Structure 1
């Protein structure tokens, strides 16, 4: 029996990349899963992949920037799971360009997915955790939430905001035995990074989604008395 066995988790952005790797890692630990992503095909394929792990897997399609879709998805998954012990806010998008060149709609889309999505999903799941008087929330932020860079105004703003949300919420709910942690990975070898045009370089030296999943597991396995506000994870220079 593992330390996490029979717990339940909701993961956003679960169809690919870090979210998918985290779902696989948690299933191996015996955690029952509620998966959220926009692609039903990706979710169905992942559920099939997890079928050998003897855990319950449910999924719901939702765009995390849409509060109505989020509320429906989270309520449905909690109803199927019975409770929610772990929430992984992983869904995110990235796009880069000079501030004067980015259209307001593009800027707002990044904020709406990365920040408002984290808020909507957390707000939907948190009442159940408060009622349980227990839980763990992990927000996948970025080193871009610690240090800004040219062409990253929208993405950095969204991730800086997630860091602030994490710290404030941690102070709100820690007395309810709910841990809130932000992970700040540097560039991870995912489809998101490739599509956003980030420099990948030597893939053998790049951080992989499975590496971030391992850090998530480590954070979840800490004794209940330990609260970690932020965990950074850097890759070796990919250039």
Structure 2
């Protein structure tokens, strides 16, 4: 599918997978609405994408755990873009610890960001896609949404929930030509992974954000009559 002049909103777009996805879509001529908490990262990306690829890039800062802020951000970006063809729910956080050791407030914050943030953003975008009778929603989940592991109760719970929400929403909106996909990368070399204490190892052998962005792009470019329900991407030869 030709993506020239399509529009996309990406959460967590200032760095990592979100930034890589923004670059990949800009290269295809997609006009972008970028959302993150940090304005400086967004401003730098906006400037480079606009000058390098000649696409319209609009930015807004918001905390995706704040329902009202998300609704206002999506309203603003939708008005600027004129339509919303693609939504990439990428924003997320990760912390690890045993169920008893992790503070309950931190546990809840992971659920609020990874699950509720995805819900708030999707709920704000969905009416536009239903009115258009078309759209693509990609939720960046994780292999942690397919299998639990010790010290991962909060993160796994959030990503399992995202997987379930994705599948349920897919069943609701397929008849409206809206494609809903969950992507499940294993560990990606991002600030999120480093800050969470995950083993990164040799960067040349670890999955990079650009690798996930390639999968996102390939998923979106499928003919509109088909979609990928879920797809995993793994490092070939991890240490």
The alignment's TM-score, normalised by the length of structure 2, stands at 0.98
Q: Does 1:42 align with 2:34?
A: no
Match of 1:228 in 2: 228
Q: Does 1:111 align with 2:111?
A: yes
CA distance in 2, matches of 1:37, 1:237: 32
CA distance in 2, matches of 1:236, 1:189: 14
Would you say how many aligned residue pairs link Structure 1 and Structure 2?
A: 238
CA distance in 1, matches of 2:235, 2:89: 21
Match of 1:156 in 2: 156
CA distance in 2, matches of 1:142, 1:119: 16
CA distance in 2, matches of 1:173, 1:102: 37
CA distance in 2, matches of 1:204, 1:54: 31
Contact kept? 2:86, 2:137, Cα under 8 Å: yes
Contact kept? 1:203, 1:238, Cα under 8 Å: no
Give the C-alpha shift of residue 105 in structure 1.
0.4
Q: How does 1:1-239 map to 2 (within 5 A)?
A: 3-51=2-50, 52-239=52-239
CA RMSD in angstroms, aligned pairs only: 0.8
SS of residue paired to 2:80:
helix
Give the C-alpha shift of residue 236 in structure 1.
2.8
CA distance in 2, matches of 1:197, 1:236: 21
Contact kept? 1:199, 1:238, Cα under 8 Å: no
Give the C-alpha shift of residue 49 in structure 1.
1.3
Give the C-alpha shift of residue 237 in structure 1.
4.2
CA distance in 2, matches of 1:170, 1:82: 24
CA distance in 2, matches of 1:10, 1:21: 13
**Which residues of structure 2 form unaligned runs of 5+?**
none
CA distance in 1, matches of 2:21, 2:228: 19
Structure 1 runs of 4+ off > 3 angstroms? Answer: none
Return closer, same or farther for 1:237/1:199 CA change in 2, 3 Å cut-off.
farther
CA distance in 2, matches of 1:3, 1:147: 35
Give the C-alpha shift of residue 110 in structure 1.
0.3
Give the C-alpha shift of residue 225 in structure 1.
1.2
SS of residue paired to 2:100:
helix
**Which residues of structure 1 form unaligned runs of 5+?**
none
Deviations 1:70-122 (A, max 9, x none): 00100000000001000000000000000000111000000000000000000
SS of residue paired to 1:183:
strand
Deviations 1:192-225 (A, max 9, x none): 0000000111111100000000000000011111
